[in-house]
Structure 1
């Protein structure tokens, strides 16, 4: 083999080695540059922080948002947050963009929850072009939320109840009825991927509604919590509120009290969630004073089924009381003189839960808060949301007219002008509604402050049977 040929081969080998090394270095540098973000695991809130609930008619209903507010009003009575419902019936992602500056950015949110997609899929089997519109508009919406320094919390579209749709008198496309729930699952799966890759918050609204419905139909095939197939009823909206708070890992327990005796017979207690004083322990029972830091999370009567379906109290609002070393027998518990129940010494040693006991003063106090907030949402909050319907119609017509070339549609132009006149009073409506809402919130923050409660546990004396 000639020297020149050997040299050429050596040059090729060296070049290959150098290329390989350069490629490996480039790959290592690229790997170092890739930063895998951690999705938002929990809400970090302090007084004055603002949360915006952005969405369509399911948000406009002012129900799951109301129940989430109830949680914060009762669990954090000394932390005053700012809540703004930004839902409009019929909204798609583009509509949220059109009203973003006044209806989202103006409230300087720390977090923005996004519940959109039900209308974006247009109630038909999967269509790639329709999805790409949703994809583009949602990406732009997320970018705008980040641009104002807020953290997006992406929420899957809720369930489309095909069985409820089939039971309706209204005629629907059979293919749409069969396939639309799976379309929403596709949209939600994409949102989960976006949240995971970008480090956003993520809430699965879809699965809890579907799973609870499937389990309930094993006993009652006509069961639904979405009677019109699209808008969850109050119990279904409790499931949504539970999903949001659970996925965002909020504080779940109200209190835990554990009372027993030391070896020398002296009473002792460990407690979380408040301050226990004046503990007295005797053969007939126990008494103490308890000042809790919070109240249980309760919902109005029309939503109670949702609390039962999610085991809301046990999972998200537990008030646990356990008392050991009691003589055998049954004991009557009263709080501030109100008898709330009777329990055996065995049940008390294991622990009892009080959060769902409607007889307790703290439950009744929490219900007062919930009813005040219901008044707030049914009145001024919903009044403000209704004012945005006209704007949504205005923005859509304007978009259509702006896209037209040549002669404009005269009917649409006339309607646009009429809507412009109507919208002149919108800002006044918003300000008046917010003032009325704030007045009710002031009442809520007077009603939600925990007070010291006197607990008395007395042994029930069995009555002698009459001869």
Structure 2
């Protein structure tokens, strides 16, 4: 039989299979790469004790409150200490779906792995329950944002003799890699379903290793499991970075020509009443947003991440000034002195705590800290009791003749009684502080004066 030339066979196969390729590609949804939150939308943070800490969630909220002051975006923390995916399912209807979220971030897995080396049965339980969590989120019409478990910092344990003595050696050696495996599986699920995905594990591990080059005892997770404020800020940054959040706040660029005529170009707001006379430049600036300012306990990570420059850049450049030193004041308050050469290159104001916009953003952050440390955390406490009751009720169902367990369940039921009324009260208290935030986060028009002093 005469053999067909290879080129002919390749062309024939291409002709046969080409019509199928677009259809196959069309069946694969594109992953979500942005949190497109609009006025009235709600973002829910579903998770375990790391979410219950009310820190990375608070920092993400701070970002949106200051970056989008004209939008009333709502947030709900649905974290409970010790939670596994199965626990999240038990409270899903009231603690997640009831808030009608547009997006739900999911941070579960630290407890699901049970702090033991990789175990196939344990993983399959986690896999089954997480798939059900994702499906329930989708059933509400929301989009899941799957997030890897965070880092298990074994060195933090090794630095504590008492904790080291009480911790199995296999956990120290293997558990961080178990969490990495769980996170890798979550990424595949997100890609397959077209969900959002955030890598928490890598930045926590990578930054920690970098810092240990100079400080072998460095950790952002003192108890090996629960990140402190610095680690939680790394987590918040991971969400915003992986979800391609808007980075810059503003960029004001002013040119003064040889005749002394000033002209401005700006991004992130509007310049008005621009004047230059007697070596003094003045203008009014109405910004669209505020810098992302955080409570001082997260300052370590602000510096590590170069967070101001990366996520909150407030740049001012002035070209054509007569050579010399200039004093910048905003609303009558002196915020710094700069050489004309530096102003021509540009200065950045986002980390300058003397500026009124920094102080305004800090006020927003402190109000939100009050909201999270008060009613939000109290609300999470109610769900902690609910989780305890749900677990014990399941145990009693499996062992109905256990009188001791029945008595324990009755005691917890008494504590949970009236929970809905308390939940509503905590929600109301959180909303009252949220109203204060919305009243404080709108940037007013500010007067800038740049005056030559030398």
Give the aligned partner of residue 447 of structure 2: 454
Cα deviations by residue, 1:191-237 (Å, 9 ceiling, x for unpaired): 11111111000011111111111111111111111111100001111
Total equivalences in the alignment: 439
Task: Please report how far the alpha carbon of residue 25 of structure 1 lies from its aligned counterpart in structure 2 after TM superposition.
Answer: 6.7
Deviation digits for residues 232-291 of structure 1 (CA, Å, limit 9, x no counterpart): 001111111111011111111111000002465421010011110111123523111101
Secondary structure of the residue aligned to 1:241 is helix
Contact 1:91 1:116 in 2 (8 A): yes
Aligned to 2:53: 61
Q: CA deviation at 1:167?
A: 1.5
The corresponding residue for 1:71 is 63
RMSD value, Cα = 1.8
In the aligned structure 2, how far is the partner of 1:408 from the partner of 1:309?
Answer: 56
Partner residue of 2:81 out of 89, 95, 99: 89
2:441 and 2:22 map into 1 onto residues whose CA distance is 51
Distance apart, 1:32 and its partner CA: 2.2
Aligned partners of 1:31 and 1:97: how far apart in 2?
37
Counterpart mapping for 1:59-138 below 5 A = 59-138=51-130
Q: Deviations over 1:302-325 (max 9, x none)?
A: 111121111111111110000001
8 Å contact from structure 1 (residues 285, 326) kept in 2: no
Aligned-partner Cα distance in 2 for 1:449–1:149: 31
Q: 1:304-323 alignment to 2 at 5 Å? A: 304-323=299-318
Q: 1:245 aligns with which of 226, 240, 250?
A: 240
Equivalent residue for 1:217, pick from 188, 195, 212: 212
Q: Is the 8 A contact 2:83 2:111 kept in 1?
A: yes
Residue 4 of structure 1: aligned partner: none
Name stretches of at least 5 consecutive residues in structure 1 with no aligned partner.
Answer: 1-8, 10-20, 462-467
Aligned residue number for residue 148 of structure 2? 156
**Matches of residues 430-445 of structure 1 in structure 2 within 5 Å?**
430-445=423-438
Pairwise mapping of residues 196-235 of structure 1 onto structure 2 (< 5 A)?
Answer: 196-235=191-230
SS in 2 for 1:43: coil
Partner of 1:424: 417
Measured after TM superposition, the shift of residue 402 of structure 1 is: 2.2
Shift, 1:417, TM fit: 1.8
CA offsets 1:154-187 (integer angstroms, 9 cap, x no match) = 0010111110011122220011111111111111
SS of aligned partner of 1:253: coil
Greater shift in the superposed pair: 152-161 or 283-292: 283-292
Q: Do 2:256 and 2:321's aligned partners in 1 also have CA atoms closer than 8 Å?
A: no
Separation of aligned partners in 2, 1:410 and 1:30: 63
- The answer to whether the Cα contact below 8 Å between 2:48 and 2:107 also exists between their aligned partners in 1 is yes
Offset of residue 333 of structure 1: 0.8
After TM superposition, the score normalised by the length of structure 1 is 0.91
Runs of 4+ in 1 over 6 A off after TM superposition: 24-27
The equivalent of 2:391 in structure 1 is 396
Q: Which has the larger Rg?
A: 1
Q: How does 1:117-196 map to 2 (within 5 A)?
A: 117-168=109-160, 169-170=162-163, 171-196=166-191
State the match for 2:8 in structure 1.
Answer: none
Aligned partner of residue 215 in structure 2, secondary structure: coil
What are the superposed Cα offsets for residues 419-460 of structure 1, whole Å, 9 maximum, x if unpaired? 222211211111111111111111111111111111111112
- Please tell me whether the aligned partners of residues 321 and 353 of structure 1 are also in contact (alpha carbons under 8 angstroms): yes
Query: Residue 3 of structure 1 corresponds to which residue in structure 2?
Result: none
Question: 2:6 maps to what in 1?
Answer: none
CA contact (8 A) 2:329 2:450 kept: yes
Instruction: Quote the offset at 1:27 in angstroms.
Output: 9.6
The residue aligned with 2:359 is 364
- What CA distance in whole angstroms lies between the structure 1 residues aligned with 2:257 and 2:220? 50
Which of the numbers 266, 272, 277 marks the counterpart of 1:271?
266
| Match of residue 14 from structure 1 | none
How many angstroms apart in 2 are the aligned matches of 1:325 and 1:441?
44
Tell whether the 8 Å contact from 1:294 to 1:450 is kept in structure 2 after alignment: yes
CA distance in 2, matches of 1:267, 1:333: 17
Q: Deviations over 1:32-76 (max 9, x none)?
A: 255121100111111111111000000000000001111111111
Equivalent residue number for residue 23 of structure 2: 32
